[in-house]
Chain A
Amino acid sequence: MKNILVVDDERPFLLSLKDGLLAYTDKFNVLLASNGQEALQVLKEEQIDLLVTDLKLPVMDGFQLLAHVSRYDPYLPVIVITAFGTPEIEERLSRMNALHYLEKPLDFDALAQTIEAALANDLRSYIRGITLATFLQLVHMEQKSCSLKIRSQKQTGYLFIHQGELYDAQTDRLQGEAAAMEIVTWDDTEIEMDSVCRRRCKNINSSLEFVLMEAFRIKDEAGAPPEELAKANRAPVESKAAPSVSPVEAAPPPRRKVDPDEKLLAVLNKSKAISEFAIFDSENFLEHQSGPPCSLSQLDLTAYFPTCQELDQVVEGNGLRYLMLNCARRHRYLLFKRGARQVVLTLAQGVQPAQVLDQLSPSLFEQT
């Protein structure tokens, strides 16, 4: 029996849909979630075979959910529901066949068929549910602002998007449009999303769509087009209709990866000494925050540390340990660095910084 998870914040819609899908109980179970965070919890606890999600959701939106899935459950097939969209985008998205896309208001029969088709296809093991290109098109379509940290094999890059427009990009070697062109062609990407666009200046003049098309054109000219690649990937499976051991089946992709920071987050979330936390990487990309709303997520920590390190040298302080901000109403904030990461915590009343730092051993911050 397969499990599908439907995420939407409209309770009446969910309730009716669930009743409607009871007719398919012989084929799949339906689980419900009303926001991204609830969905993550379900994904953690249950074996889910198909994710059906709206993009506009409270607490944690559909984009963050999709980004999470791209990292930790990359082969999960996804159906995206949205109130926006044009036929052109629909056509382009459907070419990337692991992602199905439906526009509101939904037609029950069409949704049921799409669910059945997605489950029957069983592309799960071969094609990523969410590719970077589809993700970016959705971001553009919904005019979303965000920073994206893209990992592919050993490379890391950043895309900065303001209201659906590409503002800037960065890889180890490149900046601006050149970096964006490179990042969008990476394969097997893991997407991390920060809901704040961390760059204020527009350094890329071309539109996101142009960058995507151009990058794929260059890639196509260098090798096989993406559709061909997809087919090529699938071909050996189709030919192996016999129950002989298929290489893909023999080494199935990891079912679900574990967040390397899980232990750290557990410690931070459990600690009574901290009321809020935010962890940024060296580019001020927000990696983690305490359950939203978190008042620290807008900060730009890169501004504070260099100044304080300079100060540290002037006063011969022998190494800056942490920064402590004492504000009105006894609000106290603790800022410190761990490796390349920058951490800011809101301390609970009466807690000493040393106490907190002892709890958070450096090993917790090591990322694999």
Chain B
Amino acid sequence: MVDINNLCIVENGYSPESGPQEQNFSAGTQNWSYADVLHNLDIGIIIVDRISQGIDLCNAAAKTIVQPVGPNLTFQDLVCDLLHDSSALFLGELAHTSRTIQRGSRILGYTIYPVSERHFCILLRDITEKTRLESIAQAVNTMDNIGLIFSGIRHEIGNPLNSIKMTISVLCKNLDTFSKDTIRQYIERTALEVSRMEYLLKSLKNFSMYEKVEIKPHALAVFLDKLQELISRDFRAKGIRLTFERPSEQVKALIDARALHQAMLNILSNAVDALEDRSQPSILIRTRIHGRLVWLEVEDNGCGMTPEEQQLLFQPFCTNKPQGNGLGLMISKKLLAKMNASLEIHSSAGHGTRVRMGLPLA
């Protein structure tokens, strides 16, 4: 490892023009130094001394990315212009989290790592292009989904509409000959189809319900208690063994409890469907700390899915359930994404499925 203090001394007297050969810090007998490596990396590297309020190191990439007003990047530039929130930097609250800032027309991404008691290292990248490409990819994805959504709606509304149209026109033609009972039967038939369409509209409403999520630190144990209270009776009635492995009270995640609740209900209802006609049906809900995330997992020993079925999981209106509308998982994924949480599904046909949500720890 590089001794950072040593490197800082080197850096203070370093200018790219003087050439690497003149550096007194070199690795073994090789013709290069760690300073060369840092200097030539395309990731911007800035090392800040928070006590002396000075910049100990700023490599070429960092200069290109930040484009300071003067010839050198100053501590003032960095704090006022770039990071805005100097107190947060000093308190170390920003450490380890990836953040983005808008600088003119460009988008910069940076992460701050503490390297000693008084030093911070800031890794910096210009992610304008990457962000643009990502947003294009996302837009393309949404466009794909829009096609699916429209064809899905067309099918979901088209079928009941088709039945209603047929039922009403046959009823009209036979109004004089049909018995009262038959007429009632025809009206009921129509009403049933209308309620099908209503149900679809309700599902679509859910889809846009939590456009804005309110993210707050929330004790997962409390969240799971409430969930258990709500579902345990229903699960017992279905003969499904429900096991909770709760985290301690201290474990808090940054979530919108209502949105997570909705996502969990969708995921659990899939698990229940997968358990139909299985022997010893059981569902395990557990949490595990993983780095800066807490994994919330729902595991069932149900019928599982083939790789082909798994590919279609997040496609709207894609379902193999007679009563399903194929929106549940898509809604869940969208809700979780709004909370910066991930959703992964591992499944093996005939053995069961594990859904893993990665929630950011508070």
Question: Is B155 positioned at the interface, with any CB of A under 8 Å from its CB?
Answer: yes
Chain B contacts of A10 at CB under 8 A? Answer: 159-160, 162-163
> How many angstroms between the C-alpha atoms of A51 and B193 in the bound complex?
26
> Are B155 and A19 neighbours in the complex by a CB distance under 8 Å?
no
Secondary structure of the B contact surface, majority rule: helix
> Are A104 and B162 neighbours in the complex by a CB distance under 8 Å?
yes
Q: Identify A19's interface contact among B162, B174, B308, CB under 8 A.
A: B174
**Mask of B134-154 contacts with A, CB within 8 angstroms, 1/0:** 000000000000000001001
Give chain A nearest CB distance to B197 CB in angstroms: 12
Question: Is A108 positioned at the interface, with any CB of B under 8 Å from its CB?
Answer: yes
Known: A19-B174, A298-B306, A298-B308. A13 touches B154 (CB 8 A): no
> Are A16 and B155 neighbours in the complex by a CB distance under 8 Å?
no
**Mask of A23-60 contacts with B, CB within 8 angstroms, 1/0:** 10000000000000000000000000000000010100
Known: A13-B163, A16-B189, A107-B165. A83 touches B170 (CB 8 A): no
Question: Is A15 positioned at the interface, with any CB of B under 8 Å from its CB?
Answer: yes
> How many angstroms between the C-alpha atoms of A105 and B164 in the bound complex?
9
> Are A16 and B170 neighbours in the complex by a CB distance under 8 Å?
yes
**Mask of B189-220 contacts with A, CB within 8 angstroms, 1/0:** 10011000000000000000000000000000
Known: A16-B189, A19-B174. A108 touches B166 (CB 8 A): yes
Question: Is A106 positioned at the interface, with any CB of B under 8 Å from its CB?
Answer: yes
> Are B308 and A108 neighbours in the complex by a CB distance under 8 Å?
no
Known: A12-B189, A20-B173. A83 touches B167 (CB 8 A): no
Question: Is B239 positioned at the interface, with any CB of A under 8 Å from its CB?
Answer: no
**Mask of B169-181 contacts with A, CB within 8 angstroms, 1/0:** 1110110000000
Chain A interface category by residue count: 20 to 34
Question: Is A323 positioned at the interface, with any CB of B under 8 Å from its CB?
Answer: no
Q: A12-B193, A298-B306 are in contact. List 11 more A-B contacts (CB 8 A).
A: A12-B192, A13-B167, A16-B167, A16-B189, A56-B155, A84-B151, A105-B161, A107-B169, A108-B170, A108-B173, A295-B349
Q: CB within 8 Å of A: which residues of B?
A: 151, 154-155, 158-167, 169-171, 173-174, 186, 189, 192-193, 306, 308, 322, 349
Known: A16-B170, A20-B170. A106 touches B154 (CB 8 A): no
**Interface residue ranges of A47-77 to B (CB < 8 Å):** 56, 58
Chain B contacts of A19 at CB under 8 A? Answer: 170, 174
Q: Identify A83's interface contact among B158, B173, B193, CB under 8 A.
A: B158
Chain A contacts of B192 at CB under 8 A? Answer: 12
Chain B contacts of A80 at CB under 8 A? Answer: none
Question: Is A17 positioned at the interface, with any CB of B under 8 Å from its CB?
Answer: yes
Chain A contacts of B308 at CB under 8 A? Answer: 298
Chain B contacts of A20 at CB under 8 A? Answer: 166, 169-170, 173-174
> Are A105 and B158 neighbours in the complex by a CB distance under 8 Å?
yes
> How many angstroms between the C-alpha atoms of A270 and B18 in the bound complex?
88
